[in-house]
Amino acid sequence: MSKVACIGECMIELKQAQGTQQGTEAGLYSRGYGGDTLNTAVYLARLGASADYITALGDDSLSDEMIAGWAAEGVGTARVVRLPGKLPGLYMIETDDKGERRFFHWRDSAAARSLMDLPQTPEILSSLAGYDVIYLSAITLSLYGGEGRARLFAALKRAREAGARFAFDTNFRARGWPDLDVARAVFQEALAAADIVLASTEDLLPLYPGESNEALLARIPGAEVVLKLSEPASILRLQDALHPVQAEPLKAPVVDTTAAGDSFAAAYVAARLAGADPIEAARAGHRLAGVVVCHPGAIIPRAAMPPDLISATSRKASP
């Protein structure tokens, strides 16, 4: 079975309790956990991939709960570093009546931010060469300082030389990048190194305002690039040829767009590992994301997962 390493941060998630967005109970929230690359790891595991999560957590009961939850989902936790006295970050989701989300974060001293500066860091980075795919996002890169990012990029280069593929999600949050020139430089380095780029106009336009889809794609040198659009569609660039992919119509109202991109990435990577071509993988990504946005929070109930998503995609891709 192909192995995927997902690197990043998971936080405590507070989301508005169902039915309490208005009225006297508007302040009620339910607690869970989430984070872009962790969400992707969970969905990868649900889709049959072998996914390990690489991060740092504290030695508190909430961190214990996270690890137990990940293990129950089938996500590997052997590469999670526990730091005495530290805590995970926290975020709150606020959604409007169209399901669009707004995040509030408390994470400046979260354990995950130390991952590239620990005694365990060299061993963790060396382990990346043992994976088939290494997946991380721009949010992951925003956690670390310049020296930490340099260590990570050097390890990615070594892993790719050993046969691993690097999948980069352009997930951009301006709060994590106070200097946009630094952000653009880091993006350029990541885009140049990636074998698979999962981008979106929502992520790239804040960095490159006013650019067309074609201009945004021209900034990405890789041979396998997905650009998700503001409408439910994407453009794939494969060996310099462009292929539009339209999402299927939604079967239920949108209630929360949290983890739409994370779930798309999971289905895309899982489908590619199962042998699907990129166009079918993008269709799988749109299908899963179209289900996720119809549920509150980052991780939907297991029973809501689309049946046979990857097996059907792989059959279509077979000669």
Residue 89: count other Cβ atoms within 10 Å of its Cβ.
19
DSSP code, position 96: -
Whole-angstrom distance, CA of residue 184 vs CA of residue 307: 39
Tokens of 278: 């990129």
In DSSP terms, 80 is beta-bridged to: 55
169 is catalytic: no
**Is 107:89 a contact under the CB 8 Å cutoff?**
yes
Q: Which residue has the tokens 């941060």?
A: 9
**59: Cα separation from own chain's centroid:** 25
User: Residues with Cβ < 8 Å from 152, sequence gap 6 or more?
Assistant: 7, 116, 125, 136, 141, 144
Whole-angstrom distance, CA of residue 201 vs CA of residue 50: 30
Q: CA of 115: how far to CAs of 55, 157, 243, in Å?
A: 6, 18, 38
User: What does the DSSP assignment read for 181-202?
Assistant: HHHHHHHHHHHHH-SEEEEEHH
Which candidate in 59, 195, 262, 277 is catalytic?
262
The residues carrying an active-site annotation are 262
